[in-house]
Amino acid sequence: MGRALARLMAERGDTLFLLGRDAAQLARSATDLELRGAAGSVGTATCDLLGPESFAPALAAAAAALVGFDTVVVTAGAFATQDALEADREQRRQLLTANFTNTIEFCELARQRLLDQGGGTLCVFGSVAGERGRKPVILYGAAKAGLSHYLEGLDHKFRARGLRTVLVKPGFVKTGMTADLPPPPFAGEPEAVARAVLRAIDKGTPEVFVPGIWRWIMLVIRLLPRAVMRRIEF
């Protein structure tokens, strides 16, 4: 989804800087975005959600290359099935650290930079899994729920000072992360999802469900009584 979103930004001529784990892959993605119309050259820096010491230098590199930035998009995150996470303590620790503790640490640094320069947009990818405790995504969902509260809090506290937060809540989207899972009904394509996210970034919508139908699906799920949630496998 990050790739699809960055391509839309490139196509309209935005200036971009990429952060990610693999320098060689980043360089290839940067060329792709330049060929699709990104303004100037697309810079890159390595940054790993499991290595929080990489955050500050990466953001500094981005700020230097872009001469300040007005939007930060965080699409990174790990995924594993509930069964795998229950079975493997190390994988569980890593996923919770990457998706919750370290993502928030990264956002804190980004938030400070944005506020220091008078405001901007912080867009973070949460998940519909964070909407309610559900059997198939208990641990993954718990981290995303925490992230969701964090971003809402930022919105309440800093919006008046110019920080706009956009929390994206994807339902099922056919990406590399979900490649091993059978797509359910209402599965979204990355390109369509990216268009909705870009609209939300431009407008500063604090919360966006993608595809949109998931807002209503999750509304129903939130309203279900516990007795029902215990019995269903959703």
Partner 1 sequence: MAPTHTTTASPAAAPDTAVPPLAEVSGWGHYPVLLGRQFRSEDLARVTARARLSRGLGRAYGDAALPAAPDDLVATTTLADRLLAFDPSSGRLRAEAGLSVRALNRWSMPRGWFTPVTPGTQFVTLGGMVAADVHGKNHHRNGCFGNHVTALTLRVADGRIIECSDEHEPELFRATLGGMGLTGHILEVEFQLERIPSPWIWGESERCDSLDVLLARLKEAGERWPFTVCWVDCLNAPPRLGRGTLMCGRWAEPGEAPATPPAPKAALAVPFFLPDWFLHPWQVKLFNRLNYWKHGARVRRGIEHPESFFYPLDVVLDWNRLYGRRGFTQYQAVLPADEDPSVPRRFLELLHRHGASVFLCVMKDCGAQGKGMLSFPRPGVSFALDLPVRGAATQALVDVLDEFVIAAGGRVYLAKDAFTRAENFRRMESRLATFAQVRRRWDPDGHLRSAQSVRVFGDKP
Whole-angstrom Cα distance, residue 209 to residue 127? 9
Residue numbers 95-154 binding partner 1 by CB under 8 A: 95, 98, 106
Residue numbers 161-180 binding partner 1 by CB under 8 A: 175-177, 179-180
Residue for token pair 């901007």: 120
Q: Which is nearer to partner 1, 11 or 224 (CB)?
A: 11
Q: Which long-range contacts (CB under 8 A, 24 or more apart) does 57-65 make?
A: 58/19, 59/109, 59/110, 59/113, 61/17, 62/17, 62/19, 63/113, 65/17
Smallest distance from partner 1 to CB 97, Å: 11
Eight-class DSSP state of 130: G
Find, among 146, 122, 117, 120, the residue nearest to 133 by Cα. Answer: 146
Smallest distance from partner 1 to CB 219, Å: 25
Residue numbers 36-55 binding partner 1 by CB under 8 A: 36, 39, 47, 49-50
Smallest distance from partner 1 to CB 225, Å: 32
Whole-angstrom Cα distance, residue 139 to residue 56? 28
Binding site for partner 1 (CB under 8 A): 2-3, 5-6, 9, 13-22, 25-26, 28-29, 31-32, 35-36, 39, 47, 49-50, 58-59, 62, 66-80, 94-95, 98, 106, 175-177, 179-180, 182
